Amino acid sequence: MTITAARLRRFERYYTPLVSDTLDRLGLPGGKKDKNGNAGFVMNHVIQHIAGGVQPKICGIAFPCRVVPTKKYVEIDKLLAMVDSIPANAIVVVAADADIGAALWGGLMSAGAMRRGARAAVVNGGVRDIEQIEALRFPVFGEYTCVTDIRRRGYMAEFNIKVNCGGVNIKPGDVIFADANGVVVIPQEHFDLVETELHAANREERSTMQGLAKGETAKKLFAKYKRF
């Protein structure tokens, strides 16, 4: 099935821990856990919501970009071309080969991406222009806030290509789901299966929650729904 804007919006009724649990249960290829036990589809916990609204819940299509560290002055032509190429419903993923100690995302990029119809940005480094981003209410996830510009520290090398961000391999067209807990990547080819499984998982989780609220025991509910 085509991953439409309507399906992406419906997906936002879920939450990243439930998606992560579902990916674990399915044991999909590429989902091998790291040495800390983190699922292969879950970005490193240091990537969190930084700006653009209170506790956003966003689902969109990955538009991955790569930044390369440098000490030379490289003009931002490629970065500008990237912004002008962002498709609707995208979540722009900016992955630096190594931390450059500078902003991978900022206010003007947010304004341009938002005008193009993007839903959010996720970066494995710094974010600046927090005041402008908050005014736009454009959700941005990253590792830290900073002041410094990308020039003489890094440059946009390529975009709409495969990258690794937060320990997860991402290709154009994969689905990115982010909320107050963190960021999860669902491979495009597995989205239908994951969406189907999540429908059942969400029902079981809600039934467990309702049972606990009524005073039923955790043991009894776990035996019935296998959720806790």
61, 90 Cβ separation under 8 angstroms: yes
Q: How far apart are CA 207 and CA 193, in angstroms?
A: 22
Question: Is-above-0.85 flag for pTM?
Answer: yes
Q: What is the pLDDT of residues 167-200, one digit of tens each?
A: 999 999 999 999 999 999 999 999 999 999 999 9
132 in a structural domain: yes
List all residues 6 or more positions away from 227 whose beta carbon is below 8 Å from its beta carbon: 201, 204, 205, 208, 221
Host domain of residue 76: 5-187
pLDDT at residue 144, rounded to an integer: 98
Q: Is residue 76 part of a domain?
A: yes
- Residue 46 belongs to a domain: yes
CATH of the domain at 162: 3.50.30.40
Q: Looking at the domain assignment, is residue 227 inside a domain? A: no
Amino acid at 99: D
Structural domain contains residue 223 = no
pLDDT at residue number 55: 80
Assigned domain for 218 exists: no
Distance from C-alpha of 167 to C-alpha of 153, rounded to nearest angstrom: 22
Look at residue 30 in the predicted model and tell me its pLDDT. Answer: 64
User: What is the model's pLDDT at position 165?
Assistant: 96
pLDDT at 37 over 60: no
156 sits in which H/E element: strand 154-159
108 domain residue, yes or no: yes
Question: Has residue 215 been placed in a domain?
Answer: no
Please tell me the least confidently modeled range out of 74-83, 95-104, 205-214: 205-214
Number of structural domains in the chain = 1
Share of the chain above pLDDT 70, in %: 95
